[in-house]
């Protein structure tokens, strides 16, 4: 049914696994589109009470947007790509059923933003988070500039997004990026235990908790548009072309500031 996702429904828990382990589960446009489709199913299917999103394998949750699809991005289609990613991640954030990210390794770039869009993050002890877009001459484009400061505060978000530093699991726990750190074997069981506890509560009240907490951040919609506009602007720079080329050639980028 999906080319890049595996799905499994058991006892009301719907597990969505990003299945591109050979590319560290990088989110190509097709995978993003499938996430959109799968969330339509999640919204509409009564048997689904809660959701776990994870990545295939023990190395990566998702290592970002698929850099091999960046050729040909410019101000206009770059902004559209950002807006489309934001729209899909908004659908996840605003899902009226609980959504837990089971972060089983690298959650970088768009992968980190996917985890941020989920309601709760449970992470394995080998997980690491990061927004390395500035290494590519870019900024986060799927909501990271907005959700990261919401979760960890402005100062920490500024440092993380400007240095492109990776945050390990225990540090993620300290700064509020992770709710729990567990061994990889306990990752899915811990997510299931949280969902099963939530399932004992009133479902309408749960959906209203999600909605009410999200309203708290509603006034940030201009911020999301600014993110998409700046993401588009970055796509027209020489630094972006150099950053992507350097990644493909597995070398350090030489930025000119143009």
CA distance 12 to 195: 9
Based on the shown chain and the rule CB under 6 A, indicate whether residue 109 belongs to the binding site for ligand COA: yes
CB contact at 8 A, 182 and 125: yes
Between 65 and 102, name the residue whose CB sits nearer to ligand COA.
65
CB contact at 8 A, 98 and 200: no
Stretch that binds ligand COA, among 29-37, 129-137, 147-155, 219-227 (CB under 6 A): 129-137
Long-range contacts of 246-252 (CB under 8 A, 24+ apart): 247/67, 247/135, 247/136, 248/67, 248/68
Based on the shown chain and the rule CB under 6 A, indicate whether residue 120 belongs to the binding site for ligand COA: no
| Active site (annotated) includes residue 30 | no
Residue of 34, 66, 93, 113 that binds ligand COA (CB under 6 A): 66
Catalytic residue selected from 34, 83, 113, 227: 113
Residue of 4, 14, 15, 24 that binds ligand COA (CB under 6 A): 24
CB of 232 vs ligand COA, minimal distance in Å: 14
Dihedral in degrees, nearest 10, Cα atoms 141, 217, 130, 128: -140
Catalytic residue selected from 34, 83, 93, 133: 133
Stretch that binds ligand COA, among 38-46, 84-92, 132-140, 233-241 (CB under 6 A): 132-140
Rg (CA), the chain: 17
Between 50 and 243, name the residue whose CB sits nearer to ligand COA.
243
Based on the shown chain and the rule CB under 6 A, indicate whether residue 23 belongs to the binding site for ligand COA: yes
| Active site (annotated) includes residue 10 | no
CA distance 150 to 116: 10
CA distance 76 to 233: 8
Q: Which residues lie near ligand COA (CB under 6 A)?
A: 23-24, 26, 63-68, 106, 108-109, 132-133, 136
Residue positions annotated with a catalytic role? 113, 133
């Amino acid at each position: 049914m999906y080319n890049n996702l595996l799905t499994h429904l058991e006892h009301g828990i719907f597990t969505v696994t990003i299945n591109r382990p050979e590319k560290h589960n990088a989110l190509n446009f097709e995978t993003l589109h499938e996430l959109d489709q799968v969330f339509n199913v999640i919204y509409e299917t009564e048997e689904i009470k809660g959701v776990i999103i994870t990545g295939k394998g023990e190395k990566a949750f998702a290592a970002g947007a698929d850099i091999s699809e960046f050729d040909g991005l410019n101000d206009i289609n770059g902004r559209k790509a950002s807006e489309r990613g934001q729209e899909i991640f908004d659908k996840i954030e605003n899902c009226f059923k609980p959504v837990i990210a089971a972060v089983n390794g690298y959650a970088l770039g768009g992968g980190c933003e996917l985890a941020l869009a989920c309601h709760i993050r449970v992470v394995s002890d080998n997980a690491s988070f990061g927004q390395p877009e500035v290494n590519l001459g870019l900024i986060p484009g799927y909501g990271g500039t907005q959700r990261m400061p919401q979760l960890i505060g402005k100062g920490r978000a500024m440092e993380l997004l400007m240095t492109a530093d990776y945050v390990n699991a225990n540090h993620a726990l300290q700064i509020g990026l992770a709710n729990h750190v567990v061994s990889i074997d306990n990752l899915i069981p811990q997510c299931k235990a949280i969902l099963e506890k939530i399932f004992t509560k009133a479902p309408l009240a749960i959906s209203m908790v999600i909605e009410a907490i999200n309203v708290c951040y509603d006034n940030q919609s201009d911020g999301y548009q600014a993110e998409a506009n700046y993401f588009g602007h970055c796509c027209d720079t020489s630094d972006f072309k150099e950053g992507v080329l350097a990644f493909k050639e597995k070398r350090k980028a030489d930025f000119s500031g143009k």
